[in-house]
Structure 1
Amino acid sequence: MLINIDLVSDFVCPWCYIGKIRLERALDSLSNSHPQLEARINWLPYFLNPATPAGGEPYRAFLEAKFGGARAVDALHAQLTETGAADGVKFDFERMTTRPNTLRAHRLCYRLQAQGARPERIRKLADALFEAHFVLGKNIGDSEVLADIAAACGENREQALIYLQGDGDTTAVKRMASQLQKQGIDSVPFFIIDRKLAVSGAQSATALGAAILQAVSGQAGTQN
């Protein structure tokens, strides 16, 4: 039985990184108890800060302005580090110097999905984008960085770079993000399970697994 899971996220959202890992843990668990289930994750774009300059901006300064100073940011990082560790998610905030514009990253993911790539390749790309930003401190808004990531995930680097330096799929990605917000999605991660049930936030793997089974059983609703 195929079940579609739309994952609305941004690649600079730490809770999206955690939510992704928890979703994968939920699916791994369900594969043992419900081997007939086959899940397909569709990545949908969201922009945490649409006003981010194309070249990015200083990471720490952005967060301090957003959250009210250095102490608030330090507390947030400590919370994320502790929460992530429990799920095997690593963050290296000291290496993160740039808050990137994620339009190109979303375009890269959109392109791969539009080409009908296998789920394993899409998952590999999403993994690489999150890791590049949160672990390696790379600017995932930079075309060269993204071309390297694409190549590591099996794409032709030169072709990926040409695509990224152009504006292919820009309108489609922006339109999709806008439509999702118009539908009331104003925070991420946000999971839409088989178009029947919505789960907001980085819920636990157990909660996500229960929601998936609820959707499979045909029960609609929203879990917050």
Structure 2
Amino acid sequence: MDLTTWMNNYTGQSDFTLVGLFSQSEHPALLAVVIFVVLLMALTGNALLILLILSDTHLHTPMYFFISQLSLMDMMYISVTVPKMLMDQALGSHKISAAACGMQMFLYVTLAGSEYFLLAAMSYDRYVAICHPLRYPVLMNYRVCLLMISVCWVLGSLDGFMFTPVTMTFPFCGSREIHHFFCEVPAVTKLSCSDTWLYETLMYVCCVLMLLIPVTVISGSYSSI
């Protein structure tokens, strides 16, 4: 990719346009209110759950530690896309810069991947608690829990670092309208004027392989209980 293409992609001269849910709705204002209420409920519910777990010493166990981490990831996950969508609808602007699009893409992919691996860690925790109750305090001590959470974040971020730079360095020569309410990798890839068949194939293969690991761990853990 030459310097001119790189500058077109990453300077603010050529922003993307998000064509999301509201453009296809007959009552966009009502839809925005409903989404805003659901957003507040989700953020409030997860925040209260985290505060409850932190404030009650009886809940300072591996299971509730993982639940609090899942709630934190859920809060961050929806905060990456939904507030931007609602703000665009309120202000009447659906533009997003290439840098902001890349950041949104990276955070979304990272959080999605991290949640998959966290669910696998939670299933393993339940397996150890039920099948090895006497060794549970040793096998699932606080240091092990922190290590498992760290691994979940690292594995999730690997997807973000793998997909985001490649997707955002494709040349975008034509329309910059993203037919989605956020910068999803496949939606942005479709805008490229270069041949992305090989990249899309590898991307879907990597996604399938990434999902197989948590699914295998979850299936193996619960089938052994």
Q: TM-score range by the shorter chain?
A: under 0.3
Task: Give the greater-gyration-radius structure (CA).
Answer: 2
Which structure has greater helix proportion? 2
Q: State the TM-score, normalized to the length of structure 1.
A: 0.27
Q: State the TM-score, normalized to the length of structure 2.
A: 0.27
Which structure has greater strand proportion? 1
